[in-house]
DNA sequence: CGGGTCGTTGACTCTCATCAACCCTCGTGG
DNA sequence: CCACGAGGGTTGATGAGAGTCAACGACCCG
């Protein structure tokens, strides 16, 4: 008997299990899903906008981001995915990817054929529920991003993004607060927040000067969580995280 | 025998049937869903942010919008829903609504208990597929909005919104191009696009001056579709509309 | 007729984009 | 071992697009 936790897809099952109760049979079905594993370099495309994708992607390790290009060539980053996320499921039902997915760091991924996922979902209501729920969480995060970009100023937008990525990393258990991995270039932060990299640079400097964060070379340290959260108007409810590794206050009644 | 097309929920079934093939049994199950119908006034809340909703909403007629409030009180409109849309399904799986839903016009709605929808989905894979697909379309639209707000200037943002709402109205078959209903106040346009109502006003005047649209008192006339589409950097693929009532060119190779 | 909501206009301000350098770090190859 | 180049980060000067404030006008409804 091999340890099921050593199985490549175990990361995915663990993630789904955080939000949806899965019994042994369902876990087994998920682990038994057919897949093709691959190692990906920074910047490589996992899915290209307009592609007719026939599989979704389980992100086994590393970071990836979704993006879309406007007519004038400017790019909007639509979301960021961490280890354990299942990406590109919508293409299973919409037939055409309407955004690109790229690796933000070197990454390990597993391609899973759509039909296998769909079949598992139809056979096990709990699996359908789990997948459906994850996609609603993605929508909820996208909504918060829209609010972020549409209504907040540069400082708040960036502080908010810092909080989100840090907290989601904590949820994966892959980091030791207050230290986090920060894989985004300043240009990517700009594309995620609707700002230019120049302005991102100046704003990050202001956050450093105010002793809210330290940030250099892919490493982020949040030196003052409460003030950063306030600066970013951040309240984590929209992430629908399961019990957090350590308590996080809800909304600050500003 | 009464005409099934006269049933209040027929609008919903027709909408789902546009994107997903449903057989007679599935249609019957949907029509037989329990519901409570209601008439709603402009501005009334259908769901309030933070509510623990136990039902979703079928929009039988009229317009509704989703919104979220930032810490400083400013509001972001996250999306707009038309006749035939099924709204608030996410609350079924996430337990807490993370946005408000309000009527933008007088509306007829039907509340459907979550458990009834979920049960129907579990009993009929095609229903599950239909609902899941609709929610992916919602996400796709939200992504385009994020791109719109993050990357485009005021003129493009507003032109894009005009195109989207007009085209979605055409898809419901409830209007005669080039004339459309325009239920949004300028303040709502601002909240949807991340602009102030003052700036929306000036920008709309510019679009009128350029003879792209006519707009007054809830009525929109698109006098020059090709140029409006170009002005809004609009290409309708993200709406994942079924066959359109009249042909719409794909992306203009700008 | 009066009040409220929505639309319009003008003057002024400010955040953020733009453009253009320059620096640092790191990996590569001669 | 050093030269080189590329990507990413930093800085300054300037200007445009959008926000703010404030007032007024048009329309609708009771």
Tell me the pLDDT tens digit for each residue of B114-143.
999 999 999 999 999 999 999 999 999 999
CA distance A204 to A187: 12
**What DSSP line would sit under A220-231, residue for residue?**
EEES-HHHHHHH
Whether any strand D atom is under 7 angstroms from the Cβ of A135: the reply reads no
Contact criterion met (CB < 8 Å) for B136 and A90: yes
Note the strand C nucleotides within 7 A of protein beta carbons: 5-11, 15-20, 26
A74 touches chain B (CB under 8 A): yes
What is the pLDDT averaged over residues B157-167? 98
Q: Confirm or reject contact between B145 and chain A (CB < 8 A).
A: yes
What gap in Å lies between CA B148 and CA A217, rounded to an integer?
31
Q: Look at residue B6 in the predicted model and tell me its pLDDT.
A: 77
pLDDT value of position A142: 97
Q: Which helix (H) or strand (E) holds A68?
A: strand A64-69
Alpha helical stretches, state H, A35-106: 90-94
Place of tokens 């946005």: B99
The mean per-residue pLDDT over the stretch B147-169 comes to 98
* Confidence check: pLDDT of B150 > 90: yes
Q: What is the pLDDT along chain A (254 residues), one digit of tens a residue?
A: 566 667 889 999 999 999 999 999 999 999 999 999 999 999 999 999 888 888 899 999 999 999 999 999 999 999 999 999 999 998 888 888 889 999 999 999 999 999 999 999 999 999 999 999 999 999 999 999 999 999 999 999 999 999 999 999 999 988 888 999 999 999 999 999 999 999 999 999 999 999 999 998 899 999 999 999 999 999 999 999 987 655 444 434 33
Kindly report, residue by residue over B13-48, the tens digit of the pLDDT: 999 999 999 999 999 999 999 999 999 999 999 999
The pair of three-digit structure tokens given for residue A254, joined into one six-digit string = 């500003």
Q: What local confidence, expressed as pLDDT, does residue A251 receive?
A: 39
The tokens 């108007």 sit on which residue?
Answer: A233
What is the average pLDDT across B147-170?
97
- Given this model, what pLDDT does residue B244 score? 61
CB A239 within 8 A of CB A164: yes
Nearest to A145 by CA among B184, B148, B135, B162: B148
Residue B185: Cβ within 10 Å count: 13
Strand C reaches within 7 A of the A189 CB:
no
For chain B, say whether A242 makes contact (Cβ under 8 Å): no
Confidence of residue B173 (pLDDT cuts 50, 70, 90): confident
Nucleotide at minimal C1' distance from the A205 CA: D10
Q: How far apart are CA B208 and CA B220, in angstroms?
A: 11
Of B238, B193, B199, B198, which is closest to residue B77 (Cα–Cα)? B193
> Integer distance in angstroms from CA A196 to C1' C28?
31
């Amino acid at each position: 008997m091999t340890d099921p936790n050593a199985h490549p897809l175990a990361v995915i099952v663990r993630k789904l299990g955080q939000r949806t109760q899965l019994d042994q049979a369902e876990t087994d079905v998920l682990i038994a899903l057919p897949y093709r594993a691959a190692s990906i370099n920074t910047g490589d495309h996992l899915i290209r906008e307009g592609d007719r994708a026939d599989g979704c992607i389980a992100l086994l390790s590393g970071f990836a981001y979704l993006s879309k290009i406007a007519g004038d060539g400017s790019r909007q980053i639509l979301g960021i995915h961490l280890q354990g996320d299942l990406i590109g499921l919508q293409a299973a039902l919409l037939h055409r990817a309407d955004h690109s997915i790229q690796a933000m760091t070197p990454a390990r991924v597993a391609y899973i054929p759509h039909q296998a996922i769909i079949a598992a979902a139809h056979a096990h209501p709990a699996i359908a529920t789990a997948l459906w729920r994850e996609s609603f969480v993605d929508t909820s995060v996208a909504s918060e991003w829209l609010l972020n970009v549409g209504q907040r100023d540069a400082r708040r937008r960036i502080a908010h993004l810092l909080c989100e990525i840090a907290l989601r990393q904590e949820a994966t258990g892959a980091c030791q607060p207050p230290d986090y991995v920060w894989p985004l270039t300043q240009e990517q932060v700009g594309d995620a927040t609707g700002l230019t990299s120049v302005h991102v640079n100046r704003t990050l400097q202001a956050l450093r000067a105010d002793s809210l964060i330290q940030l250099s070379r892919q490493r982020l340290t949040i030196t003052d969580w409460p003030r950063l959260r306030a600066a970013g108007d951040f309240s984590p409810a929209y992430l629908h995280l399961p019990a957090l590794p350590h308590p996080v206050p809800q909304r600050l009644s500003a």
